[in-house]
Amino acid sequence: QVQLIQSGGGLVQAGDSLKLSCTASGPNFNPEVMGWFRQSPGKERDFVASLTWDIATKYYSDSTEGRFAISRDKAKNTLYLQMDNLKPTDTAVYYCAAGLKFAPRWPSEYNWWGQGAQVTVSS
């Protein structure tokens, strides 16, 4: 059974940076895609960024492209999200996810999820 364990998150000020990590465990871990999503209270889970696990083709939402960078270390089965120039509107619980299908922007297509990490950006 695949498990995704997240680390990172916290409280920062606008303009600061944070890095999230997500490490997968389980036999024969080889997803098609891995991604980051975020969810604010009362809102749907929104796409942030994703990449294809094999060759790391990357995808970003309009609101995060240029400020966030997704990356992965295949040897460590770890996904990262470097978040720079954070804004109060980035405040949310951030989730990593792994999927077996190529549907990089759709949370419903992902098979496994991390436990979530709160990111709070103060103005």
Q: What percent of the chain has pLDDT over 90?
A: 95
Integer Cα distance of 8 and 111 in angstroms: 22
| Residues ≥6 apart with Cβ < 8 Å to 7 | 20, 21, 22, 23, 117
pLDDT for 18-55, tens place per residue? 999 999 998 889 999 999 999 999 999 999 999 999 99
Examine the pLDDT at 94 and tell me if it is beyond 90: yes
Cβ-based neighbour number of residue 112 at 10 Å: 18
Single-letter amino acid code for the residue at 49: A
User: Would you say 20 and 114 are in contact if contact means Cβ atoms under 8 Å apart?
Assistant: no
pLDDT computed for residue 90 by the predictor: 97
Q: What percent of the chain has pLDDT over 70?
A: 100
pLDDT computed for residue 26 by the predictor: 87
Integer Cα distance of 4 and 20 in angstroms: 12
**Of 57, 87, 71, 56, nearest in space to 20 by CA:** 71
